[in-house]
């Protein structure tokens, strides 16, 4: 992960490592890859409004115990390739197919 941290610094971005939380439009947005429960637990402990995860190669949009969990799908090992656009303030989610 040191290479990712260096690249983020070079472009003025923030690297959250295996997971973290940021605020956007007054909402707390947690992110984690999704394959390690310890990473997800650490993010959940920060009580996000949204939890964005990966790992599963298909889109997911569910609400569990008041927390909205979104997985955009994948751009590899998936059929179709998908990405997700979330309008944080309104909660509107679009899952878009990407040409392979």
Q: Distance between the two ends of the chain, CA-based, in angstroms?
A: 28
User: What CATH number is given to the structural domain containing 92?
Assistant: 3.60.21.10
Across the chain, mean pLDDT equals 92
* Spatial separation of the C-alpha atoms in residues 40 and 37, rounded to whole Å: 5
In sequence order, the 6+-apart residues with CB closer than 8 A to the CB of 79 are none
Beta-strand relationship, 50-53 and 81-87: unpaired
Task: Note the pLDDT tens digit of each residue in 17-71.
Answer: 889 999 999 999 999 987 778 889 999 999 999 999 988 889 999 999 999 999 9
Q: Which domain holds residue 48?
A: 2-98
Task: Note the pLDDT tens digit of each residue in 4-21.
Answer: 889 999 999 988 888 999
Domain count, the chain: 1
Whole-prediction pTM = 0.85
In sequence order, the 6+-apart residues with CB closer than 8 A to the CB of 60 are 53, 69, 70, 71
């Amino acid at each position: 992960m040191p290479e990712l941290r260096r690249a983020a610094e070079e472009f003025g971005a923030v690297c959250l490592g295996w997971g973290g939380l940021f605020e956007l439009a007054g909402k707390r947005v947690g992110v984690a890859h999704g394959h390690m429960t310890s990473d997800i637990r650490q993010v959940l402990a920060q009580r996000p409004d949204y939890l964005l995860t990966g790992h599963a190669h298909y889109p997911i949009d569910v609400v569990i115990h008041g927390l909205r969990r979104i997985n955009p799908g994948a751009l590899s090992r998936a059929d179709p390739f998908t990405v997700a656009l979330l309008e944080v303030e309104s909660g509107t989610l679009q899952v878009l197919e990407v040409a392979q």
